[in-house]
């Protein structure tokens, strides 16, 4: 299970390199945050890791992307970013 999550994290990094939309980049980073929180929960299961991984999932998967979406709407950023891989 841990290896599968690590492969998903690597694949989201590859998708992030090829994406050209800012909103897509924000979504991919949010997915990575959720996957990392789940990875911590799976690797060592205790009450402390449940609290840490839940906080990580909430912050990285919901709060930070919401703030970034709100900021991009506030400054009217609608342009595409140049992908690293063509």
Per-residue tokens: 9: 């994290």
pLDDT in tens, 4-49: 999 999 999 999 888 878 888 899 999 999 999 999 888 888 899 8
| pTM listed for this prediction | 0.80
Helices 22-43 and 64-74 pack at an angle, to 10 degrees, of 170
Q: Do residues 52 and 40 touch, judged by C-beta distance below 8 A?
A: yes
């Amino acid at each position: 299970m841990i290896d599968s999550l690590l492969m998903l994290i690597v694949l989201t990094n590859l998708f992030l390199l090829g994406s050209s939309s800012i909103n897509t980049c924000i979504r991919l980073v949010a997915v990575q945050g959720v996957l990392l929180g789940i990875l911590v929960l799976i690797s060592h299961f205790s009450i402390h890791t449940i609290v840490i991984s839940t906080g990580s999932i909430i912050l990285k998967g919901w709060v930070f992307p919401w703030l970034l979406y709100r900021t991009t709407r506030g400054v009217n950023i609608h342009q595409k970013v140049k992908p690293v891989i063509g």
